[in-house]
Amino acid sequence: MSKRSAAAALLLLTLTAGLALLHSAARPEVPEGAVLVQTSAGDSCLMLDELPTAPVTGEIINGRGECKPIDGEGIALKDVLLAAGAADPGQVTAVAEDEYRAVIQGDELDGGQVYLMIEGSESRLVVFGDPNSKRSVSRLVRLVVE
């Protein structure tokens, strides 16, 4: 490897590391077992173990058309938003720890199809009735309300 190639590789590596640090510094810190609800009025950090859960059962369908049963404790997304003071949103973007995102329209919240499933100290967004479970968001940390 020539000196020029080595210098270019080092420069790219340094630039990549710098951008990664900037990206991670821009993410809000969310405690384990919590979800951050961000609204135009401000942010609310809700501890999920302090919210009432109920048994939730149903099926989601993956991209291959296979049904996957869901059975556990959960909280209707509408109830989570109400606990954070975010009533009647136009849409909600669910954001995972790795920044995977899914959008839920406000009118979907009234149908009893959208839940936060509680799995230990983590939560997962589940949307029943979707023909493809791309809106199943594991390790959910933020809800951005618009």
Average pLDDT over residues 69-75: 96
Average per-residue pLDDT for the chain: 88
Q: Which residue has the higher pLDDT, 22 or 138?
A: 138
Percent of the chain with pLDDT over 90: 69
> Up-side HSE of residue 87: CA atoms within 13 Å toward CB?
1
Alpha-carbon distance of 3 to 56, in angstroms, equals 61
13-40 confidence digits (pLDDT tens): 666 655 544 444 455 799 999 999 999 9
74-115 confidence digits (pLDDT tens): 999 999 999 999 988 999 999 999 999 999 999 999 988 999
Q: Which pLDDT score, from 0 to 100, does residue 26 have?
A: 53
CB 19 within 8 A of CB 66: no
113-129 confidence digits (pLDDT tens): 999 999 988 999 999 98
133 pLDDT tier (thresholds 50, 70, 90): confident
Closest to 96 in 3D by CA, of 56, 142, 60, 62: 142
Percent of the chain with pLDDT over 70: 84
Q: Which pLDDT score, from 0 to 100, does residue 13 have?
A: 65
